[in-house]
Structure 1
Amino acid sequence: MLIKHNTNQCKDGYLNRTPYFQFILLSCLFPLWGAAASLNDILITQFKSIFALSNFASALVQSAFYGGYFLIAIPASLVIKKTSYKATILAGLIVYTIGCTLFFPASTMATYTMFLAAIFSIAIGLSFLETSVNTYSSMIGESSKSTLRLNISQTFYPVGAVAGILLGKYLVFQDGASLEDQMALMTAEQLHVFKLEMLQHTLKPYKYLIYILIFVTCLFAITSFPKCKASTTTKQTDILETLRYLSTNQRFKKGIVTQWFYVGMQVAVWSFTIRLALELGDLNERTASNYLIYSFAAFFIGKFIANILITKYSQEKVLISYSVLGMLSLTYVSLEPNFSAVWMAIVTSLLFGPCWATIYTSTLQTVERKYTETAGAVIVMAIVGAAVIPAIQGLVADKFGLQLSFFIDLICFTVVAYYFAAEQKIKASMSSQAVVSKNELNS
């Protein structure tokens, strides 16, 4: 029996009101990819020691993960166009579950490449989810509250991220000295056995994720969802026509570039937070992971505060303030050679709070409604920045040191600040033109 909704759809695809059960269920998907993403930060630390990797090589975990987003986002948007948001979400949940199961043969084969393949498979499922759910969450209600809805949904993300870190802390990381210190005292034979044992620990979080995914998939299957697709009397646009249109939309392209830099920065900071704590403090991996938990807690708080501020001030002013403070905090992280730099990295996470959702909806609102599905997919493709920026930061860390590598993130936050300053200027100009036109009409 389907759990139904009682809403009416407007011509532009938005609804006359938000169906709260369906919206909450959609929002509960955000923790699912938050958990997967934060587990990558655990794996980077674990794999760096087990497979004796450089900072650059260990960052390839993120390249495999977010590279999957880039490749699958457009196919996912085509699934939305041909079927529905709900069907695309179900496909994503199923593929995500399959990706989690691939960790079991990967642990048996015990090769870094096979683990990257499993991570890539998870990313394919998550690309289906993010391509559909980000746009769907913004549209499942009144048009005027689309940014607020997505920011509320995004607030659930750090809950899953913290859960992922806790799973990694207690199921993957172990008590005692750090892995590098333990392995330094072992013979070659002991080392081989120890590494295999440590790889087996990586399976445990994914076992629990599989159970949760099966339950959520069943719940979505029995729930009725509104279509939220714009009504049109014209023929459906094909993918090439849509891409040609988007390529001429200057504000859309600026939003894509900004999202690329923002996501790359966010993932890079979180990827190296545990490494930074290990380098600046006498800690093991389990203790160092606490600082990533604090980062996600700060991220949650930052989102919550931003949601309140955006209801009182323009979202551009709020994001400019966040970005400037973020630039200052990253400067501190890069230059202060003591453990306070780790705490300032946590402050940076607080300032990430509203960025993704606000850039997403601001960019999506610059396109005509008939192009929404594909435009949303292209914005999700910008997540590929997370496949590039952490790898670049890893290279810089190998050459110049881990702390100085955070200057890469400082550059990224500067791009975000510039984008919102430009958007504020454009909207002020549009508002002035609207007032002039109204006055001319009245006269």
Structure 2
Amino acid sequence: MHTAPRKNFLLAPGTLGPFILVTSLFFLWGLANNMTDTLLAAFKRIMSMSDFQTSWIQMAFYGAYFCLALPAAILIKKYSYKTGILVGLGLFILGALLFYPASLTLSYGYFLVALYVLAGGLSILETAANPYIVAMGPAESGTRRLNLAQSFNPIGSISGVLLSKVFILSQLNQLNAEERSGLNADELAAVQSEELTAVMGPYVGIALFLVLLWGVLYFTRMPKASDTDSKVELAATFSRLVRTPNYVWAVVAQFFYVGAQIGVWSFTIRYVMLELRLNESDASTYYMASLVLFMASRFAFTALMKFIQPKTLLFATAIAAAALTLVVIYGNGPAGVYALIGISGCMSLMFPTIYGLGIRGLGEDTKIGGSGLIMAILGGAILTSVQGYVSDLTQDIGLAFYVPLLCFLVIALYAFVAEKPEIAARKKEADALVTQPVTSVL
């Protein structure tokens, strides 16, 4: 007979192994996310594109997150978290393998299709893994537990940037757009073919590794989080969710957070190139420094949450990020670059904290509600495109950082109103369900 875990425990009994295995997935989508961020700089050179045109990479990537999150939630509610993880990982593999035929076509559009499929898999993975981690112990430590698991995401991010730096960015031909326009069609195709082969290589290599991981997950017995009902009643669920102010605010905040994060990271290399007069490969070193700070800060904030309320930390870091963004906009040279790196330290706790605060108290609506917080990742597509458009319109990439500045102010507002007393009753009732340990295995 199982008993509810004590509130000061981080994990429910018997869940350490599954926690480690699911946490490895956070590493993998960090790897894919940040390899994709570097593609904006790569395709700008390969295809001689504008900032707005390259932002379609993020539109395809995060648009897939929006489209697949709700179907993923329905899948895992009807079946299990493990089913969602296996389906998501399968699409991840397929999308990565599609980079091979895309590289043969020399077509930007085919790469966008491959990224869409890959990101659809990541959307399903995140929809399954985030609430699964929260369910692996007491509700009181759910946000801290998710921050711990998410701390391994930036390790993947750093690995992704390293792979891109060594195998993609360093392989780009340094001919600029004007010089490329002077090449004949065959010469240009030869240059682009070599560059796109370099883009393809790391993705196909990752896909082959993921096939092995898929097999391990398939044959591993995983705990199944308690759920009162596997029936999907979307109308009733949505009705309850939209009447929960804390949840609605969390979705809004997550939309703006992901828009800020992807905007900041997508244009970091471009900003550093302009301010420090570096090429893509050298500028990516500063991007990697941002991710190292992001990783270290996430572990630090996870520890601080034992002593400081998550929403208090969220408010403080949002205000600090806004202040640093002003330095990026109006500063120049090293000062602007260092401020840009500092923003990543502030952003480190935001996604898991908004997510953890947003799903608290949702009870049986957690899986569908969690999908809404993943769908909010669409902000990475829309707001990054807006940032690219502002950069092209003003011919000043610094001014484009007004977009993430607005985003950080919205996050600060959410932190201020998060978990107000009007949902306390529902949260108390639902927390009793969430604290039930995971029991059966798959």
Shared fold per TM-score greater than 0.5: yes
| d(CA) in 2 for partners of 1:178, 1:382 | 37
| d(CA) in 1 for partners of 2:121, 2:106 | 23
Return the letter of the residue paired with 2:244. Answer: N
TM-score in terms of structure 2 length: 0.90
Partner of 2:226: 229
Residue 145 (structure 1) shift: 1.3
Partner of 1:383: 377
For the residue of structure 2 that corresponds to 1:331, the secondary structure is helix
| d(CA) in 2 for partners of 1:296, 1:403 | 20
Return the letter of the residue paired with 1:253. Answer: V
Return the letter of the residue paired with 2:281. Answer: R
Structure-2 change in CA distance of 1:282 and 1:22 (3 Å): same
Q: Is the 8 A contact 1:396 1:405 kept in 2?
A: yes
Residue 195 (structure 1) shift: 1.3
Q: Is the 8 A contact 1:97 1:214 kept in 2?
A: yes
| d(CA) in 1 for partners of 2:225, 2:97 | 33
Question: Which of 236, 239, 243 matches 2:234?
Answer: 239
| d(CA) in 2 for partners of 1:118, 1:9 | 44
> What per-residue deviation string (whole Å, max 9, x for no partner) do you get for residues 357-391 of structure 1?
01001110142x11111111111100001010100
Partner of 2:146: 150
Aligned length: 420
| d(CA) in 1 for partners of 2:216, 2:88 | 14
In structure 2, the gaps of 5 or more residues are 429-442
| d(CA) in 2 for partners of 1:309, 1:418 | 21
| d(CA) in 1 for partners of 2:358, 2:224 | 22
Return the letter of the residue paired with 2:162. Answer: L
Residue 208 (structure 1) shift: 2.0
Partner of 2:357: 362
Question: Which of 229, 251, 258 matches 2:253?
Answer: 258
Q: Is the 8 A contact 1:158 1:296 kept in 2?
A: yes
Alignment of 1:36-47 (within 5 A): 36-47=32-43
For the residue of structure 1 that corresponds to 2:176, the secondary structure is helix
| d(CA) in 2 for partners of 1:108, 1:29 | 30
Partner of 2:437: none
Partner of 1:438: none
Return the letter of the residue paired with 1:272. Answer: F
Alignment of 1:298-337 (within 5 A): 298-337=293-332
TM-score in terms of structure 1 length: 0.90
Confirm or deny that 1:282 pairs with 2:277.
yes
In structure 1, the gaps of 5 or more residues are 1-5, 435-443
> What per-residue deviation string (whole Å, max 9, x for no partner) do you get for residues 267-318 of structure 1?
1100000011111122111111111111110111111121121111111211
Residue 8 (structure 1) shift: 6.4
Confirm or deny that 1:84 pairs with 2:80.
yes
Return the letter of the residue paired with 2:343. Answer: T
For the residue of structure 2 that corresponds to 1:133, the secondary structure is helix
Alignment of 1:17-28 (within 5 A): 17=13, 19-28=15-24
> What per-residue deviation string (whole Å, max 9, x for no partner) do you get for residues 394-417 of structure 1?
000011210010011010000001
Partner of 2:193: 196
Return the letter of the residue paired with 1:230. Answer: D
Structure-2 change in CA distance of 1:210 and 1:413 (3 Å): same
| d(CA) in 2 for partners of 1:15, 1:31 | 20
Residue 332 (structure 1) shift: 0.2
| d(CA) in 1 for partners of 2:265, 2:303 | 25
Alignment of 1:30-429 (within 5 A): 30-174=26-170, 178-180=174-176, 183=179, 187-188=183-184, 189-231=186-228, 236-367=231-362, 369-400=363-394, 401-423=396-418, 426=420
Return the letter of the residue paired with 1:221. Answer: Y
| d(CA) in 1 for partners of 2:208, 2:361 | 39
Q: Is the 8 A contact 1:237 1:371 kept in 2?
A: no
Structure-2 change in CA distance of 1:345 and 1:147 (3 Å): same
Residue 168 (structure 1) shift: 0.6
CA-atom RMSD in angstroms: 2.3
Return the letter of the residue paired with 2:193. Answer: L
| d(CA) in 2 for partners of 1:176, 1:51 | 11
Residue 227 (structure 1) shift: 1.2
Partner of 2:431: none
Residue 182 (structure 1) shift: 9.3
Residue 231 (structure 1) shift: 3.0
| d(CA) in 2 for partners of 1:289, 1:30 | 22
Q: Is the 8 A contact 1:15 1:228 kept in 2?
A: no
Return the letter of the residue paired with 2:405. Answer: L
| d(CA) in 2 for partners of 1:124, 1:185 | 35
Residue 337 (structure 1) shift: 2.3
Q: Is the 8 A contact 1:169 1:289 kept in 2?
A: yes
Q: Is the 8 A contact 1:334 1:341 kept in 2?
A: yes
| d(CA) in 2 for partners of 1:124, 1:177 | 31
Return the letter of the residue paired with 2:187. Answer: Q
| d(CA) in 2 for partners of 1:210, 1:16 | 32
